[in-house]
Structure 1
Amino acid sequence: MAPRFYLDLIDGDETVPDEGGLETPDLDAATAHAQAVLREIRLAGRLTGALGPWEIVIRDARGRALRRIAVS
């Protein structure tokens, strides 16, 4: 079974936790998925005018932060 990763969206003050997670082969695949999600969010204009700094934190099933991706 593939490991489960969680992609939490953080705006500096608040966290929008990923409750369901995502099964991917590895951390690199989870990172690629997170980057694709960020592209979709940007294209939809959802972060326009939003406070920040925004980032996605990828964590494992134990809750450990494994990687941070800044939203620029």
Structure 2
Amino acid sequence: MDIRIGITNSPREISLESSQSAADVEGVVTSALTSEAKFFKLVDQKGNVYVVPLATFGYLEIGSEESRRVGFVS
């Protein structure tokens, strides 16, 4: 699934593909926002860890869990 994270005062966004479900990703971010946490962590399909500080967190966009088709569709 495609995930995009917007950072305040930055024209670029963090983009990653994760094997976690949409509910898992949403749960991680929601629990971090409602607690006293300073950051949240997400892991992509390759095992890279992304640590996002909540002080600069702008938005979270969770794409569909459906894989993209490549090539021509008839």
Q: Is TM more than 0.5 here?
A: no
* Bigger share in strand: 2
Q: Which has the larger radius of gyration?
A: 2
Interval containing the TM-score (normalised by the shorter chain): 0.3 to 0.5
Could you state the TM-score of these two structures normalised by the residue count of structure 1? 0.37
Could you state the TM-score of these two structures normalised by the residue count of structure 2? 0.37
